Chains A and B, each alone.
Chain A
Amino acid sequence: MAKSVKHHREPLVRIAKRDTMPLAKAIAVRAIAIALSLVVCAVVIYAITKMNPLKVYATMFEGAFGSKRRIWMLVRDVMMMLCIGVALAPAFKMRFWNIGAAGQVLVGGIATAACMIYLGDVLPTPVLFLVMIVTSCVCGAIWGMIPAIFKSRFNTNETLFTLMMNYVAIQITAYCVSLWENPYGSNTVGIINSQSKIGWFPALFGEQYMLNVIIVSVLTIAMFFYLRSSKHGYEISVVGESENTARYAGINVSKVFIRTMIISGAVAGLAGFIAVSGVSHTISTDTAGGRGFTAIIVAWLAKFNTITMVLISFLIIFLEKGAIEIASKFQLSEYASKIITGIILFFILGSEFFINYKLIIGKKGAK
């Protein structure tokens, strides 16, 4: 007798959604991903420099933590990245793809630089700081609000809208740079108020960047509780889960969109204020740099949890500093850091799969 029933072919590997993974296991998965990515990076570095990979990581460590000054540089940049990540958290939690953080940071930076240049001699320092904070927040908020208004009214694609707003902001910055250029013909603004240091962050406890740390820490903690414990935060997460559910529950979705993007933009504007007044004391189209995009990934990886963001920003900046150190030791291009960052991001992003899904191999899973 020939077989009359054709067997249905079982796929070798099936994918099924997981409910939730225990925290310890989830951390282990990520740790494995990071470890694997470091191995791949080591291979890449070895292929280029022919240097012992372990030594390379020692060099990276040296580059990031080698001296007190380096540690403060690391902290300064972590704070910058963290601040932008914090700004993005509420928007992303709402599933509003604010790719425009770089633009919002820049307009905040322009506002701050304008205050330093035009009002530096006019206002007493405390008032000047107040004006700088308010204007940078307002500018950032407006930049964030425009796409939100169109999104809530016409369902305009916010990913592409905010992306374009970045470049509008970059060109406005380029305009301001050539307007304020100093010395003439250099096409840079130079250090603003380099003699008087008006509008610069004062050093606290003898440390130049202490104020940055304090401001960003307060923002991080405040945002954590805003998202977790406030009514607004609850509305944001409902809208993020499902707009229809939110509507059914009587939440005014348009209002939540606009309100949240005002907050997101304002914090990003504040990041611009810190970047100009607290870090570089100048403005250029690179003030936001690639930070805007990297911060998006940081915010996403942290699952919008601002406390987790501290760790991830730290990791990314550490790698960046380390890679720059390697590059300068071998007189290679600093862009090596971007390759390493990219590889590590790929691995961490890929590892999310194993947290959200499980693989069922063979017929075990078949009913």
Chain B
Amino acid sequence: MDMIVTLIQAAVAFGTVIMFGCVGEILTEKSGSLNLGVPGIMYIGGIASLAGTFLYERSTENPNTFICLVLALVCGIVGSMIGGLIFGFLTITLRANQNVCGLALTIFGTGIGNFFGGSLNKLAGGVGQISVPTTSAAFRARIPFLSDLGVFGDIFFQYGWMVFAVIVIAIMLHFFLNRTNTGLNLRAVGENPATADAAGINVTKYQYLSVCIGAAITGLGGVYYVMDYIKGTWANDGSIEKLGWLALALVIFTTWKPLNSIWGAYVFGVLYWAYYYIPGLTRSSQELFKMLPYVVTIIVLVFISVRNKKENLGPAHLGRSYFREER
């Protein structure tokens, strides 16, 4: 029983990181932009919030928890939006290839994240690892009463608040895409920008907004990872990059539906951590088990393409730039 509880907890924490990435990327992809910069944006979001709060916590004797929280979120969101803006400017205005720009953004973001993650403390004249205890504590605070309800509390409430926030964001995105005019317009842009343009929708504006807001949500995944998952420090082990690609995989797994990401992310979490809880695995066969989320994604990808049902495929114009005068 204990083992199942810890597996679920590990899966939820893990799933939250990639759910942020996935929900943000769904919003981005709905406008027809395939942003392969997800890992890069997560890195930028994570390091921006860490750097902001680190400098603040270092400068004052008694850091204010509320300021820490706001600062972490604002820095993370602004940082990742800048990442999204770079991608948007290159692909939407300059019409550069999306795949290539996304990969360049991943390289750039990985560099920014790990460079400042590794050197920030040194640049500020300190020694040792970065840590932001006050901010991290604010992110990891549990709901007082609900988290004490025995096993029930352990499974559902032993998490920081961002775990619940991402679920709300996913539900909001679902309603936005399916129940509002703006959402309908956005999907039209992703399916066929020329038609949307003819219908009077400002294609460029929609693309920019969806790429930037999508990047902000994706970046929050980095913030959650840094502040809650690894408790307010930095790890130069490339795990954000891995998580970023998994978030991209999850977008396919959910067939571009935000609601599916809520359970899909946790399934990925279980698949990812399963090796740890299966008895009798040697260290080498554990590595083979870690392949599961990727293999499952490939199977889903093949499955949706074989069935070829329109509602399961991604936006029709995904991955291509739109130029009005092109025929």
Q: Looking at the complex, which one of A157, A168, A172, A339 makes contact with B108 (CB distance below 8 Å)?
A: A339
Question: Does A198 sit within 8 A of B, measured CB to CB?
Answer: no
Separation in Å of the A305 CB from the closest CB of chain B?
16
Interface check B249, CB cutoff 8 A: yes
| Contact partners of B86 in chain A: CB under 8 A | 346
A157 vs B301: C-alpha distance when bound (angstroms): 8
Given the known inter-chain contacts A175-B287, A178-B287, A339-B111, please indicate yes or no for A350 contacting B96, CB distance below 8 A. yes
Query: CB of B265 within 8 A of chain A?
Result: no
A 69-102 to B, binary, CB cutoff 8 A, 1 in contact else 0:
0000000000000000000000000000101000
Q: Which of B57-114 contact A (CB under 8 A)?
A: 86, 89-90, 93-97, 99-101, 103-114
B99 contacts across to A, CB distance below 8 A:
97, 99, 159, 296
- Bound form: Cα–Cα A161–B298 in Å: 6
Total A-B contacts with CB atoms under 8 angstroms apart: 163
Q: Is A335 in contact with B288, judged by CB distance below 8 angstroms?
A: no
Whether the Cβ atoms of A154 and B302 lie closer than 8 Å is yes
CB atoms of B114 and A335 under 8 A apart = yes
Contact call B118/A352, Cβ cutoff below 8 A: no
| Closest B residue, CB atoms, query A99 | B99
Given contacts A167-B291, A168-B295, A346-B90, contact A294 B119 (CB under 8 A): no
- With A and B bound together, what is the CA distance between A345 and B109 in angstroms? 13
Cβ-neighbour of A150 out of B94, B96, B287, B302 (below 8 A): B302
Q: Which of B100, B105, B119, B295 contacts A332 (CB 8 A)?
A: B119
Q: How far is the CA of A220 from the CA of B252 in the complex (A)?
A: 36
Chain A residues 308-348 with CB under 8 Å of chain B are 331-333, 335-343, 345-346
Q: Which residues of B contact A301 (CB under 8 A)?
A: 100
User: How far does the Cβ of B116 sit from chain A's closest Cβ, in whole Å?
Assistant: 8
Interface: A29 (CB within 8 A): no
**B contact residues around A172 at 8 Å (CB):** 287-288, 291
Which of A160, A294, A300, A336 is most buried by chain B, counting CB atoms within 10 A of its CB?
A: A160
A363 interface hit (Cβ, 8 Å): no
Q: Is the CB of B107 within 8 A of A48?
A: no
The chain A residue sitting closest to B40, CB to CB, is A342
Which among B107, B119, B282, B302 is the interface contact of A345 at CB below 8 angstroms?
Answer: B107
Give the residues in chain B near A16, CB-CB below 8 Å: 325
- Contact residues in B for A335 (Cβ distance below 8 Å): 110-111, 113-115, 118
Name the contact of A296 in the complex, choosing from B100, B105, B115 (C-beta under 8 A).
B100
* Contact A297:B103 (CB < 8 A) given known A335-B118, A342-B108, A343-B108: yes
What residues on B are CB-neighbors of A154 within 8 Å?
302, 305-306, 308
| B94 contacts A352, C-beta separation under 8 Å | yes
**Distance from B190 Cβ to chain A, minimum over Cβ atoms (Å):** 15
Question: How would residues 96 to 118 of chain A score, 1 for a CB under 8 Å from any chain B CB and 0 otherwise?
Answer: 01010000000000000000000
Q: Which residues of B contact A336 (CB under 8 A)?
A: 111, 115
B133 at the interface (CB under 8 A from A): no
B144 CB to closest chain A CB (Å) equals 40
- B4 on the interface (CB 8 Å rule)? no
**A337, chain B: closest CB distance, angstroms:** 7
Say whether, besides A300-B97, A335-B114, A341 and B107 are in contact (CB < 8 Å): yes
Query: Hey, which chain B residues are within 8 Å of A171, CB to CB?
Result: 287-288, 290-291, 294
Closest chain B residue to A349, Cβ basis? B96
CB atoms of B115 and A350 under 8 A apart: no
What's the nearest-Cβ distance from chain A to residue B54, in Å? 16
Q: Is B52 an interface residue (CB 8 A)?
A: no
- A154-B308, A338-B107, A349-B90 in contact; A163/B284 too (CB < 8 A)? no
Interface string of B214-240 (1 = CB under 8 A from A): 000000000000000000000010000
A155: interface (CB < 8 Å): yes
Q: How far is the CB of B46 from chain A (nearest CB, A)?
A: 14
Closest to B94 in A: A353
Closest to B289 in A: A171
In residues 161-178 of chain A, which contact B (Cβ within 8 Å)? 161, 163-168, 171-172, 174-175, 177-178
Q: Give min CB distance, A359 to chain B, whole Å.
A: 11
In whole angstroms, how far apart are the Cα atoms of A296 and B94 in the complex? 19
- Do residues A17 and B319 form an inter-chain contact, with CB atoms below 8 A? no
Q: Is A280 located at the chain interface by the 8 A CB criterion?
A: no
- Given the interface pairs A150-B305, A290-B107, A346-B86, the reply to whether A332 lies near B115 with Cβ below 8 Å is yes
Which residues on A sit within 8 Å (CB–CB) of B325? 15-17
Whether a CB of chain B sits under 8 angstroms from the CB of A179 is yes
- A349-B249 in contact (CB<8A): no
User: Closest CB-CB distance, B56 to chain A, in whole Å?
Assistant: 20
Contacts of A157 in B (CB 8 A): 252, 301, 305, 314
C-alpha spacing A297/B102, complex, angstroms: 10
**CB distance B100 to A300 under 8 Å?**
yes
- Given known contacts A16-B325, A338-B111, is B248 in contact with A163 (CB within 8 Å)? yes
Contact with B287, one of A161, A174, A296 (Cβ below 8 angstroms): A174
Complex Cα gap A341–B90 (Å)? 16
Alpha-carbon distance between A154 and B309 when the two chains are bound, in angstroms: 12
Given A160-B301, A164-B294, A332-B115: A297 touches B96 (CB 8 Å cut-off): no
Contact indicator per residue, chain A 205-234, by CB within 8 Å of chain B (1) or not (0) = 000000000000000000000000000000
Cβ of B297 within 8 Å of any chain A Cβ, yes or no, is yes
A300 to B96, CA, bound (A): 11
A156 lies within 8 A of chain B by Cβ: yes
Instruction: Specify which of B113, B117, B298, B302 lies most central, judged by the most chain A CB atoms within 10 Å of its CB.
Output: B298
- B167 interface residue, CB < 8 Å from A? no
The answer to whether B311 has its CB under 8 Å from any CB of chain A is no
Does any Cβ of B come within 8 Å of A201's Cβ?
no
- Residues of A with C-beta under 8 A to B298: 161, 164-165, 168
The 6 closest A-B pairs by CB, nearest first: A342-B108, A338-B111, A333-B118, A339-B111, A353-B94, A171-B291
Q: Identify 17 new A-B residue pairs, CB closer than 8 A, beyond the known A296-B100, A339-B115, A352-B96.
A: A15-B325, A99-B103, A154-B302, A155-B308, A157-B305, A159-B34, A160-B297, A164-B249, A165-B298, A168-B294, A175-B287, A175-B288, A178-B284, A300-B97, A335-B113, A335-B115, A350-B89
Question: Hey, which bits of chain B sit against chain A, CB under 8 A?
Answer: 34, 36, 86, 89-90, 93-97, 99-101, 103-115, 117-119, 122-123, 236, 242, 245, 248-249, 252, 282-285, 287-288, 290-291, 294-295, 297-298, 301-302, 305-306, 308, 314, 319, 323, 325-326
